[in-house]
Amino acid sequence: MVFFYNILGALQECKGNPGVRDLIQLGTTLSYIDEYPDIVPGPFWFKRLFVRTSLSAVYYVGQALGYKPWIKEYTPEHLWEVARAGGLHTP
C-alpha cells in the first residue's frame, strides 16, 4: 500500500506532465521496492538489463540529491508507521 500511495501521489503532483525531478522521484521509489516496469521493446534479457541498470542509476542519483523512496505527505499516518516498523523507510 505504501508503494501505491507514493507512486500515485508523485504522478498526481506532476499533473500528467512529469519533469526530470518527477522522474527521479518515481525511479527512486520503483527501484527501492524492486519494481521494474516493462517499458522498452526487445528480448527479455535486454529489457531486464536496460530497465534494472537505468533504474539503479536513477536511484543512486536520487539518493545523492536527497530524494527518499517514501514521501510522508503521500502516505497516510497509519501506513507510515507500518513502513517504518517494517524497515521500508530510510530515515
Give CA–CA dist 7/33, Å, rounded.
11
Tell me whether residue 10 is in a domain.
yes
pLDDT given for residue 90 in this prediction: 47
pLDDT given for residue 3 in this prediction: 83
pLDDT given for residue 89 in this prediction: 44
Q: Is 15 helix (H, G, I), strand (E, B) or coil?
A: coil
Tell me whether residue 91 is in a domain.
no
Domain count, the chain: 1
pLDDT in 10s for each residue of the chain, 91 residues: 788 888 888 888 888 788 899 889 988 888 888 877 777 888 989 988 998 999 899 999 999 999 988 888 888 888 888 776 655 544 3
C-beta of residue 30 within 8 angstroms of C-beta of residue 11: no
Tell me whether residue 8 is in a domain.
yes
Domain span holding position 24 = 2-85
Question: Whole-model pTM?
Answer: 0.75
Tell me whether residue 90 is in a domain.
no
